[in-house]
């Protein structure tokens, strides 16, 4: 298998980050335009209006657990560990991040959001376990 295929899920997650940035910019712009917020409120997160705070929080989420995802993808590539299983796990992880972001930025249903986060964390843990087995020469 071509080892560079692991970077397609990475690029898909990077696209999600930019989508969230655009959403945050839009919500902040419209909050100021509608009078809900003043530009100065964005200096400190605690004074940011709720309409854009959820997006800002989601953006922070995109740089927490995904750091482990990026590290895993790079290490899989370097060690020739990319195969159909690792690629599928990477795509599933990214899909859980898209779903998590969608829930967070729309209904913010905590039950759905936490389940999607947990599913992504489990998938990522399985991928790390596979990587460890790969390093040991077991798989």
Written as six digits, the tokens of 21 are: 């940035």
47/38 Cα distance (integer angstroms): 10
Radius of gyration (Cα) for the chain, nearest Å? 18
pTM, full prediction? 0.94
In a domain, 54, yes or no: yes
User: Residues 10-51: pLDDT tens digits?
Assistant: 999 999 999 999 999 999 999 999 998 888 888 777 778 888
Question: CATH code at 93?
Answer: 1.20.120
Q: Quote the domain boundaries for residue 40.
A: 6-136
Domain count, the chain: 1
In a domain, 126, yes or no: yes
In a domain, 35, yes or no: yes
In a domain, 1, yes or no: no
User: Residues 77-108: pLDDT tens digits?
Assistant: 999 999 999 999 999 999 999 999 999 999 99
Strand, helix or coil for residue 37: coil
């Amino acid at each position: 298998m071509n080892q560079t295929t692991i970077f397609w899920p990475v690029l898909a997650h990077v696209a999600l980050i930019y989508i969230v940035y655009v959403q945050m910019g839009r919500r902040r712009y419209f909050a100021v335009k509608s009078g809900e917020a003043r530009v100065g409120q964005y200096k400190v997160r605690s004074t940011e209006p709720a309409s854009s705070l959820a997006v800002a929080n989601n953006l922070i989420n995109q740089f927490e657990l995904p750091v482990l995802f990026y590290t895993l993808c790079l290490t899989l590539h370097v060690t020739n560990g990319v195969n159909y299983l690792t690629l599928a796990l990477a795509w599933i992880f990214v899909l859980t991040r898209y779903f998590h972001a969608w829930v967070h930025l729309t209904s913010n249903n905590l039950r759905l959001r936490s389940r999607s986060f947990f599913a992504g964390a489990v998938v990522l843990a399985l991928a790390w376990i596979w990587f460890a087995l790969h390093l040991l020469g077991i798989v």
